[in-house]
Every structure is written in C-alpha cells, then in structure tokens.
Structure 1
Amino acid sequence: MYLYCPLTYPKIMPKFTKRQRQAKWLRIFRKVHRATGAALFIFFFIIAITGLLLGWKKHSGGVILSKSYEGTSTELKHWLPIDSLHTLANTYLLENVSKELSTKIDRIDIRKEKGMVKFVYENHLWGLQLDGVTGKLLHIERRYSDLLEQIHDGSILDNYVGTSDNQIKVFYTTIMGLALLLFTITGFWLWYGPKRMRKK
C-alpha cells in the first residue's frame, strides 16, 4: 500500500528533481566528451606526439635539432657584415645541397655567445651555421624540428596550399584549442559530478 504524506512529500520531491537534473547533465557531458574524443582522436594523437618530440628536440642527439656549433669570437665588432654572411650562406647552400633550392630567408639567428650565425630558409628544411668572424661553414642541418612545429600547429597545410596569412593554422588551432577546453571541462565534470551526487 502506498502512503501519501503531504508533510514530507514536498521536501523529497525537490531533491529528487535536482538529482535527475544532475544525472541528465552527466549524460550530456558524457556524450559530448565521447563525441569530441571520437571525432578529433587523430588530431589529439598528432598534437600529443609532435608536442612530445618538440619537448625532446634539444635532447635528441642532433636528430631533431642539431646542436649549436661554436665560431671564432663572441665579439660582434670582429664579425663580418650580415649581408656578407648571408651571401656566403646562400653560396654554401647551393653548392653543398642543391642548386635548385630557394634562398628565401625565413629568419637569421645570431648566436653571439656561440660566435655563430644561423640561417633558416622559408621554403625548405635546410639550415646553415656560419662562423661570424670568418664566414666559414660550421654545419649544414635538416631542421626536422621545424617540420614537427608545422605539423603541430597545422601550418604545414598553409605551406602546401599557399594561403596568404596562415588561415588554416588559425582555424585549426582555434578548433583544437576549444575542443581541448571542452574535453577538459567535460572530463572534470564526469569525474566530479558522481562524487557530488553521492555526497548529497
């Protein structure tokens, strides 16, 4: 027999409804969490692997990123002008790697403490290290770290397609950043929600 108690029922009903709402939100968060993980699994995997390798690039024994070689002097007054070093770098690149390579510069890294200047090119992964004083070629490297960075942030697609202002990179990083934020929030609630419900 079911006994209806008008004094206690109003107190029980709100708690039961609130618990239902919490359970409903948990189900929604679980679906969102599962759908996000399934839809973006491959991208999360790529970001994790490339991020791990980039974190280890200076400890890879020169495989991912070559060590910085030392030049003759750390005194800039003894160095050759940058335009002369640039001309020498382009000459070394074309003579030692391939005459077909582009000489368009991405950046020039001056390592004063090493007495060395590093030339990094835009349209390929080759880089050169030159003695700042003599202009002597210290090292030619394949910059796999740059390739990993391009894969990590999606800019490799901008390079392939030839976009004007890294639009693919901006879109990719925005989507993945928001997805990771959503993944974190729903994951936390899936852990904390049941604990909160049990306490009540």
Structure 2
Amino acid sequence: MSNPRIWNRKLHRWGAIATAIPFLVVLITGLLLQLKKQLHWVQPPEQRTEHTVPTVSMQQILDAARTVPEAKIATWADIDRLDVRPGKGMVKVAGVNHWEVQIDLATGAVLQSAYRRSDLIEQMHDGSWFHEAAKLWLFLPSAIIVLGLWVTGIYLFLLPFRARAQKQRKG
C-alpha cells in the first residue's frame, strides 16, 4: 500500500461506510433543526402579545401551565425550563415530557400549548438520545472521520488537475 492514491481511496471508502448511519442521523436532524421555525411539527410557533412588561409571578406561570392536561405539569419538577420572551410578551414553559405551554406575561393566560419535538431532535443530533456515551464514542469519531473524508475527497478531486498540470509542463 505504498501508493498514496490507493491508500486514499480505501480510506475514503471505508470511512464512508463506517460513518454512514451516524452521519445520516446528524444530516437529517440538522436539516430539521435548520427549519424548526418554519416546520411547526418540529417546534410550535411563538405567539405574540402586545404586552412587553412582565407582570405575572412565577406561581401564576406554574398555575397556568397546570391548566393544560397534556403538559402533565403539577410541580416545578415537571418543568424542564422557562424561556422568557419579554419582546413577544410571553413565556414558554417547557415540560420534561417535551410539551410546551406559552403563557402571556401580563395576564397569565395560556396562549398556546403543543408538543415540542426540537429538543428531542437536538438530542438525536448530538447523539445523547441514544446514550450519553454515544456523543463522545460514536458521534465524535464519526465527525472526525467525516472531516477526513472531506480532506481525502478534496485530494481526489484535485488529482486530475494536478496530473493535467504536470502533463502540460512536460509536454
């Protein structure tokens, strides 16, 4: 295997096979995440109100989120995070079950509730959905191999140009 062209092609071929499934997962989930604001199936659209000054208490936010049965929010332990958007006059309450409740920051009224898939898709994208170790031991090596594929692919692409240039210099 002293010929770098043969070695490069074999490396390229086997690297592509080794990273096919993890790369496909990253590619598809990345495309979905790029379009999350356009695809309401991925992430619910953000509602707006005319109120830009928050006046509701944390307890009112919890009480409002409790009124949505699908969200299954009873205590603060059922909430993953709050995403406060004062410019839009609302707060997103993200449940640990991926259900999102949007609440008016001035009145405490529920503006919308819907299932939020973007967090799950992000976990698939970085590999943590499969197993926490998958991020470091499967997806990171796949990314390094894909970088190597890019380098070897550029090399393979440039080979004919290099050969033509050498032929012209000799001829």
TM class by smaller structure: 0.7 to 0.9
- The equivalent of 1:199 in structure 2 is 165
- The equivalent of 1:183 in structure 2 is 149
Percent identity of paired positions between Structure 1 and Structure 2: 32
Instruction: Tell me the secondary structure at the aligned position of residue 155 of structure 1.
Output: coil
- Cα deviations by residue, 1:87-126 (Å, 9 ceiling, x for unpaired): 432x124xx216598843222100111110001123x221
1:140-179 paired onto structure 2 within 5 Å: 140-158=113-131, 166-179=132-145
Asked if 2 retains the 8 angstrom alpha-carbon contact of 1:72 and 1:132, the reply is no
**Matched positions, count:** 165
> Residue 67 of structure 2 is aligned with which of 92, 96, 102?
92
Asked if 2 retains the 8 angstrom alpha-carbon contact of 1:72 and 1:134, the reply is no
- The equivalent of 1:75 in structure 2 is 53
Structure 1 residue ranges without an equivalent (≥5): 1-20, 159-165
Q: Does residue 23 of structure 2 align to residue 50 of structure 1?
A: no
- The equivalent of 1:126 in structure 2 is 99
Structure 2 residue ranges without an equivalent (≥5): 167-171
Asked if 1 retains the 8 angstrom alpha-carbon contact of 2:71 and 2:100, the reply is no
Cα distance change of structure 1 residues 119 and 35 upon mapping to structure 2, 3 Å threshold? same
- The equivalent of 1:104 in structure 2 is 78
Offset of residue 32 of structure 1 = 0.7
In the TM superposition, structure 1's runs of 4+ consecutive aligned residues that sit over 4 Å from their partners are 98-103
- Cα deviations by residue, 1:141-175 (Å, 9 ceiling, x for unpaired): 111222221211111123xxxxxxx4332333311
- Who wins on radius of gyration, i.e. which is larger? 1
| RMSD value, Cα | 2.4
